[in-house]
A and B are shown apart, each in its own frame.
Chain A
């Protein structure tokens, strides 16, 4: 299982979500994607989308107003 990162710092909605969607489709099952975001909306809609896809999602606040969304492609 590989680990990928996606830098979406400074990107407003809906760009982080669309980039994540695209990147996830390239990943193999079992891979992990870490998305860095600083737009508070993306912290809502990326996990919502990923959970609806059935992926494992975790959010980590790395700094004030800066988050890492960790998504595991489970299928």
Chain B
């Protein structure tokens, strides 16, 4: 990707210690071929046990690859606007939200129009004050840890040791949270209203409202970047 194109050999910046630390690099392609073979073998073995397991494995590998190559980072999307004013990742996330909105509505409407039960309705959960508190806690945690769930996993895979610590405590935190979740759910979460937008606005209305909100956020992101960084670009 752009990684290679940015690494230019012809240096236009004069520096005294040019590439002093550059070491001969090992050819990684044989390892890459071995890893791909391993992935295929595991996928085939899992698929023979249960086709869905093979499918999950394949999706996991693809997601990981895209995440690593695109540097798609939910943490950066929320953090960079505050630190540098850059909203390029924020806009990437908003674009992803817009695409998912269309795709999931298409899937759900497809089931609905055929009179079948709509899939994924168990994720329509009550919203309340607890949602906001949880969001703030998660946000603080992910900025300190240097990644959300997917970002942490991706960087552990890259071999960034500090994030292995994040993963370790992420697992511990999840276990503690899972153990207590029933109590929080019973005391706070179930009291909030659960909203499924198509019930409120109709199927078309729900898509329009959601895309409109995303478009407004996108515009706001552009304006924010211009305000925070624009002064330096003369």
Contacts and interface: CB of A to CB of B under 8 A. Distances in A.
Given A13-B75, A38-B160, A61 B16 contact: no
Contacts of B25: 61, 63-64
B22 A52 contact: no
Contacts of A62: 19, 21-23
B224 to A, nearest CB: 13
A35 interface: no
Contacts of B23: 62-63
Main secondary structure of the interface of B (DSSP, over half): loop
A13 B13 contact: no
Contact of B232 (A39, A43, A47, A53): A53
Contact of A64 (B11, B15, B21, B26): B26
Contacts of A38: 160
Interface residues on B, range: 35 or more
Interface residues of A, number: 37
Contacts of A48: 86, 88
A45 B84 CA distance: 10
Contacts of B83: 14, 17-18
B43 interface: no
A18 to B, nearest CB: 7
Contacts of A65: 158-159
Contacts of A1: 14
Interface string A20-34: 010000000000101
B158 A14 contact: no
A41 B14 contact: no
A18 B2 CA distance: 23
A32 B22 contact: no
Nearest to B2: A44
A45 B146 CA distance: 14
Given A44-B71, A47-B6, A13 B146 contact: yes
Contacts of A52: 86, 229, 232-233
Interface string B69-91: 00101011001100110101000
B217 interface: no
Given A38-B160, A43-B3, A60 B22 contact: yes
